[in-house]
Amino acid sequence: MKKYFVTAIGTDSGKTLVSAILTEALKADYWKPIQAGFPRDTETVQNLISNSKSRIHPETYLLNTASSPHAAAKIDNVEISLGKIAVPKTDNHLIIEGAGGLLVPLNDNDFVIDLAQKLSYEIILVSNLYLGSINHTLLSCEALKARKIKVKGLIFNGLENKSSELIIQKKAGYPVLMNIPHLDSINRSVINNLSDQIRSKVE
């Protein structure tokens, strides 16, 4: 069974959108271990998928404040512990959505990349193409390479920028799994269409 950890070059890069696409493509289960703030990404994914096979697993940490998980946890008077984050039992494929980017802190010592390394599943890295995204994407790739974390590939999200895409792909050395165009609206039909496009690359 396939298990992918979806992360991104920053907050609001499109992790939840990509997670919904992958969940639908594989009819996979979905799990976001750490959620900081509302609305919950879990609910968003659940509302965007159409298949009846996927199971949505509850968050290990559900925090009230929309901020860095380490700060949100302190506000709620809890401490995020990697040791308490256990992958849900399932016989299905599993899509795991991270929080923010790779170096978002979870507590005073651990970052999202530490969670990804602990879980040891292939990474799918989402990059949205804004001014500065080349730097942010390649820094994320360097961090993954330094930890020797296996990467399935990149997904570009949003307005096309071929110049940025080409230099990122060349320097990162990872395959591009999908280019998601700018979307005026996101609904189940859109997710179904995009899931058809990526299915063969992630099966």
Active-site positions? 32
| Residue 46 near residue 138, CB atoms below 8 Å | no
Give the Cα separation of 151 and 6 in Å (integer): 10
| Residue 55 near residue 29, CB atoms below 8 Å | yes
Q: Write the CB contacts of 202 (distance below 8 Å, at least 6 apart in sequence).
A: 2, 4, 22, 25, 26, 124, 152, 177
Surface-to-core class of residue 197, CB atoms within 10 Å of its CB (0-12 exposed, 13-18 middle, 19+ buried): middle
**Among all chains, which residue has been given the structure tokens 């949505």?**
56
Cα–Cα separations (whole angstroms), residue 203 to 113, 140, 178, 184: 24, 24, 14, 28
* Longest alpha-carbon distance in the chain: 46
Nearest 10 degrees: Cα torsion 134, 135, 136, 137: 50
Assigned token pair, 56: 């949505």
